[in-house]
């Protein structure tokens, strides 16, 4: 069970702070949101990456809390 807790907490942590990075980028450089996240691939775009990161962090924290509460 500890491996699942670690996985979901790590997914929450990196997903949330990746979303924070994209959100701050949207504040200071909004013209780049429609650009690809990396120059190597045309997908995902920065805005799509932010949405996926927010969703992943939300779901991961929810699952992490459910697993942790079942002790």
Find out whether 8 and 67 touch, Cβ atoms under 8 Å: yes
Q: What's the pLDDT score for residue 71?
A: 61
Question: Distance between CA atoms of 61 and 14, rounded to whole angstroms?
Answer: 11
pLDDT digits (tens, 9 = 90+) for 1-59: 899 999 999 999 999 999 999 999 999 999 999 999 999 999 999 999 999 999 999 99
| Mean pLDDT in residue range 60-66 | 96
Q: What is the 3-state secondary structure (H, E, C) of 3-22?
A: HHHHHHHHHHHHHHHHHHHH
Domain residue ranges in the chain = 2-69
């Amino acid at each position: 069970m500890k491996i699942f807790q670690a996985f979901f907490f790590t997914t929450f942590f990196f997903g949330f702070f990746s979303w924070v990075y994209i959100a701050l980028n949207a504040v200071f450089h909004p013209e780049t949101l429609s650009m690809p996240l990396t120059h190597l691939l045309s997908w995902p775009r920065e805005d799509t990456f932010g949405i996926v990161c927010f969703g992943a962090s939300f779901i991961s924290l929810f699952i992490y809390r459910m697993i942790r509460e079942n002790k």
